Structure 1
């Protein structure tokens, strides 16, 4: 059984007890993104370029400085980063400046999955979106996650809507896309 307790008033974090394990969801810091497990998480979501700590920190700081990115981390009680989620608020002209909230980088480390942790990250994203006056939340995911009963997105109230189009701009990403098509057709 999961226990969900919000401690925002005292420490701006959410504590989740999943079985015997305690997790915390809070804003990421510069120290968090320097941890080796942080960038490793992204390898569970997508292909990653070789990078350096300096580039990661500069990217984090640029996103934070925009005021439009809300970057969350999911941590074990010892401070290990085991999940992430980013809310990007995009003010819309047609909505009098009210933002659409784009949900990105939803990752829970494989060995921590199956505990509804992504659902809790999504709840935090909804809270951030609501507090910032967003009129909708949008995320892109693969077909399986848009229809699977256990999908944290469906559990969070998302419904399948429209179609996402994509154009890769780097040669190696185009090669990866072609390789993925070959695997599907085999």
Structure 2
């Protein structure tokens, strides 16, 4: 099982997930691990996994490093996990972004985003494991709920993960 380190209210820089977190899954022919995103995941296929989900663009390594450092500096807001195969190649990912609210007694809401699994790795319950790990993190940091947006085609997957339809997504693109 993964070892999670809960954040401290007095020390928000203490990570919820330490850098040595691993979670092994009993899948053949290789084992998979789930861990926090690392700077070096640029060269391990992280962006290629995101391309399964949506347009990523051509991101240079220097740009990656700048964005990674910005996100890492907000480690009490962004929890980005990756699934790696036996060769330490990124084959899945998902993120939890924690929103601070005035409602619900200054409650926290977890936004689950960017769930993606490499096409050749789909069907192995890796997406489910990512959702379960992010749900665990959300509960550990004190979120009163987690929400996500998905296409109708993916609704069944998220229902199996314990989510239910709770409204209608609206978007205004720029």
Q: TM-score by structure 2 length?
A: 0.86
Structure whose residues are more often strand by fraction: 1
2:44 & 2:137 partners in 1: Cα distance?
Answer: 27
Q: List per-residue Cα deviations over 1:100-150 (Å, max 9, x = no partner).
A: 00001101100000011100101100110000000001111101111x3xx
* Structure 2: runs of 5+ lacking an equivalent: 5-17
Q: Which has the larger radius of gyration?
A: 1
Of 163, 171, 174, the residue aligned with 2:168 is: 163
Matches of residues 49-88 of structure 1 in structure 2 within 5 Å? 49-66=57-74, 67-88=76-97
4+ runs deviating over 3 angstroms:
none
- 1:143 matched to 2:152? The reply is yes
RMSD: 1.6
Matches of residues 24-173 of structure 1 in structure 2 within 5 Å? 24-32=33-41, 34-35=42-43, 37-66=45-74, 67-146=76-155, 148=156, 151=157, 153-169=158-174
Deviation at 1:19, TM superposition (A): 3.1
Contact map agreement 2:44 2:90 (CA 8 A) in 1: no
Please identify, of 70-79 and 39-48, the stretch whose mean Cα deviation from structure 2 is larger.
39-48
- Relative contact order: is structure 1 or structure 2 higher (C-alpha 8 Å, sep ≥ 6)? 2
Structure whose residues are more often helix by fraction: 1
Query: Would you say how many aligned residue pairs link Structure 1 and Structure 2?
Result: 159
* Structure 1: runs of 5+ lacking an equivalent: 1-5, 170-186
Deviation at 1:7, TM superposition (A): 4.0
Deviation at 1:84, TM superposition (A): 0.7
Q: TM-score by structure 1 length?
A: 0.80
Deviation at 1:98, TM superposition (A): 2.2
